Copies of this chain bind each other. A is one copy, B any other.
Amino acid sequence: MDQKTTIYDIAKKLDITAATVSRALNNNPKISEATRKLVLETAAKMNYKQNRLAQSLRSGKSNNVGVIVPRIDVNFFSSVIRGIEEELHPEGYHVIICQTHEDEKREIENITTLMNAQVDGILMSISNMSKENDPVIKHVVDKNVPLIFFDRKKKMDGVSSVTIDDFEGGYLATKNLIDAGCTRIAHFSGDRSLEIYENRFKGYEQALKDFGLEWNPDYVIQTKSNVDAGRNAVTKLLSLPNPPNAIFSSSDFAALGAIQELKENGIKIPEDFCVFGFGNEPFTRFLELSISSVDQSPLEMGRMAAKVFLEQISNTDNIKIEKKVVLKPELQIRKSSTR
């Protein structure tokens, strides 16, 4: 690396301070666009090579924050990320994103990748509950890098979290189906080793109990969060001797598959069968037969997770802060459950 040109040379050339050059090179928002441009162009002309890595080693601050999500192509997660960026960008932080594809090995790799990239904090939604990644997560905490879980969390000392009340979401969605007159309500559950799915299931179960409806174990099917999984699960339900007349699905994608399969079987929605989803993916309102769903306030969740990070990073005392924020879910009642 050519280290001959320094920020002091650039400062001298432009007759500004080295601090200003440094801020401009680091995209500090306090520097005007004109100055930043001038400094960048001059630096390029003078063949200046910014050794930010060495700089990070000295200052210990990269102004980068890592976000790990299971998948970026789910609107919920991309919206959380938007919320995080909206909150962190004005504070001078840049967000870099990794996805795990629900794979725990990838999760470990992502954490390592972000730590190697010297991020100042990690905001993540856990992909699964295996203990496999505990040492890597613990390593982040031990290094005093703020770590915040959102939506899907593990119970770990020193880690803050921002979640929604999934129990209440499940309860309210099921209650809406009961209010619509449905009597035999099935449930599509995700992997219940993840708290979010377990809590949605428990909310469903509690609502049935509170309103005196029978709970039928054949009505609870573990499905993946995709259209085909929803179709297959409905096929199973329809083959039961006493099939259900409603589904509360933990996934909007599975709910969509269910609706497609029900229609192909000549079953009328909402007249003969009601469906409630979870996640409020945009397609749920685009469809002609719009799908009722539980909104998880992803933007708010992202902003809140970012705020917790900012709080922790500005905490100069050597105290571990652990903060648990729980947001309220909100029902979006649409055609698929309105009679």
Instruction: List chain A positions with a Cβ less than 8 A from chain B.
Output: 26-27, 33, 37, 40-41, 44, 49-50, 52-54, 56-57, 62, 64, 66, 71-73, 75, 78-79, 81-82, 85, 89, 94-99, 101, 105-106, 108-110, 112-118, 132, 135-136, 138-139, 142-143, 256, 282-283, 286-289
12 A-B residue contacts at CB 8 Å? Answer: A33-B105, A37-B132, A44-B139, A52-B116, A66-B96, A72-B72, A73-B75, A89-B106, A96-B117, A283-B283, A288-B288, A288-B289
Residue of B nearest to A54 (CB): B57
Residue of B nearest to A105 (CB): B33
Of the candidates B41, B54, B97, the one whose C-beta lies within 8 Å of that of A99 is B97
Known: A72-B97, A117-B64. A27 touches B287 (CB 8 A): no
User: Min CB distance, A270 to chain B, in Å?
Assistant: 15
CA distance A27 to B133 in the complex (A): 13
Q: Which of A66, A78, A85, A116 has the most CB of B within 10 A?
A: A116
User: Min CB distance, A66 to chain B, in Å?
Assistant: 8
Query: B53–A57 contact, CB under 8 A?
Result: yes
Of the candidates B89, B110, B142, the one whose C-beta lies within 8 Å of that of A94 is B110
Residue of B nearest to A60 (CB): B1
User: Min CB distance, A99 to chain B, in Å?
Assistant: 7
Known: A54-B57, A287-B286, A288-B289. A96 touches B94 (CB 8 A): no
How many copies of the chain does the oligomer comprise?
2
- List, in ascending order, chain B residues with CB within 8 A of A81's CB: 72, 99
Add 11 more A-B contacts to A44-B139, A73-B82, A94-B113 (CB < 8 A).
A26-B112, A53-B116, A64-B113, A66-B96, A78-B78, A81-B99, A89-B106, A94-B110, A97-B98, A97-B99, A288-B289
User: Min CB distance, A203 to chain B, in Å?
Assistant: 27
User: Min CB distance, A49 to chain B, in Å?
Assistant: 7
Query: A53–B118 contact, CB under 8 A?
Result: yes
CA distance A132 to B33 in the complex (A): 10
Query: B135–A27 contact, CB under 8 A?
Result: no
Known: A105-B33, A138-B44. A116 touches B49 (CB 8 A): no
Of the candidates B85, B97, B101, B117, the one whose C-beta lies within 8 Å of that of A118 is B117
Query: B54–A116 contact, CB under 8 A?
Result: no
Residue of B nearest to A40 (CB): B135
- List, in ascending order, chain B residues with CB within 8 A of A54's CB: 57
CA distance A94 to B49 in the complex (A): 25
Of the candidates B40, B132, B282, the one whose C-beta lies within 8 Å of that of A136 is B40
Residue of B nearest to A283 (CB): B283
Residue of B nearest to A57 (CB): B53
CA distance A242 to B192 in the complex (A): 58
Residue of B nearest to A286 (CB): B283
Known: A132-B37, A283-B283. A115 touches B27 (CB 8 A): no
Query: A73–B64 contact, CB under 8 A?
Result: no
